[in-house]
Amino acid sequence: MANQTTEIAWATSTCNPFKGCSKVSPECANCYMTGWAYRHQCMGNEGYEGTVKGERGKRVPTGKIGIVEKQIESLKTIKTERLFVNSMSDTFHENVDDLKVSRVFDSMKANGNGTNFLICTKRSARMAEMSQTLDVPDNIWMGTTCGCQSSLHRLDDLRRTKAKIRFVSVEPLLEPLDITPWLADGTLKWVIVGGESGKGWRKMEKEWAEAILRQCQQFNVPFFLKQWSAFKPKSDAEYPPTIDGQVWHQYPQIKE
Ligand code: SF4
């Protein structure tokens, strides 16, 4: 197992060629990226200028995407087990042109170090469309976020996405969800569930997470339970969280 260099438990590291984003759906309400991007912007770090603005004491992502070429290049050589690409942005954001997205994929493709790349987007329609022409090797896992019923349509986009490993990040889980249609037809090869953290966190009932575990068990799909909802989940008595007395850190089957 590679050293864990990110707080995101289901990845082993992150890399951010793109910086900045804008909110698209209820899951984004308390996005962690905004606060971090604001701090980087204040420190003058490359790519963050103009990505967040303050409005009456509130910070809002502007939709400006900073692109850092040397980090696109770095994807060619990074060696880690599971690299979450663009955790501080959205790879398929509408303000990034196709050419830059393609360059990210070209760099990942050129990596010969056994790294698995995890792309997770809320712009799933664009991912589905671009995946038809992008070359997506088996070590690039393509996913979307779906934490509420109004986002379930993204799983239909995922179904159209050309990738061997397709996954859903059910984070933050905001209400009960039935994802069985996409488990039953083989769209989903991995399911991550997590509750919200930080300021303004919204409660995830444990039964909602357990119900998704049962759905995954029914179709033998790996399940990863990241955290219960709390201001600081890692301070919880139960971290990592369990269901049936077990920590659920399952991963996709990479080989047939
Ligand atoms: S899409 Fe992701 S990074 Fe962008 S605002 Fe929403 S939660 Fe934040």
Please enumerate in sequence order all residues whose Cβ is within 8 A of that of 235, keeping only pairs 6 or more positions apart, or say none: none
Q: What is the pTM of this model?
A: 0.95
Residue 110 DSSP SS3: helix
Q: Nearest residue CA, atom 3 of ligand 1?
A: 89
Give per-residue pLDDT as tens, 84-100. 999 999 999 999 999 99
Quick: pLDDT tens for 37-85.
999 999 999 999 999 998 666 899 999 999 999 999 999 999 999 999 9
Is residue 24 in contact with ligand 1, taking CB distance under 6 Å?
Answer: yes
Q: Relative to the CA of 88, which ligand 1 atom is closest?
A: 3
Residue 247 has pLDDT above 50, yes or no: yes
Residue-level pLDDT at 237 = 85
The pLDDT value recorded for residue 57 is 66
Closest residue to atom 6 of ligand 1, CA basis: 28
Domains plus CATH for the chain?
67-247 (3.80.30.30)
pLDDT digits (tens, 9 = 90+) for 122-152: 999 999 999 999 989 999 999 999 999 999 9
Question: Is residue 102 pLDDT above 90, yes or no?
Answer: yes
Amino acid at 181: P
Q: Is 36 left (phi over 0), alpha (psi -120 to 50) or beta?
A: alpha
52 Cβ inside 6 Å of ligand 1: no
In this structure, which residue's CA is closest to atom 7 in ligand 1? 28
**For ligand 1, what atom is nearest to the CA of residue 21?**
4
**Residue 62 CB: number of other CB atoms within 10 A?**
16
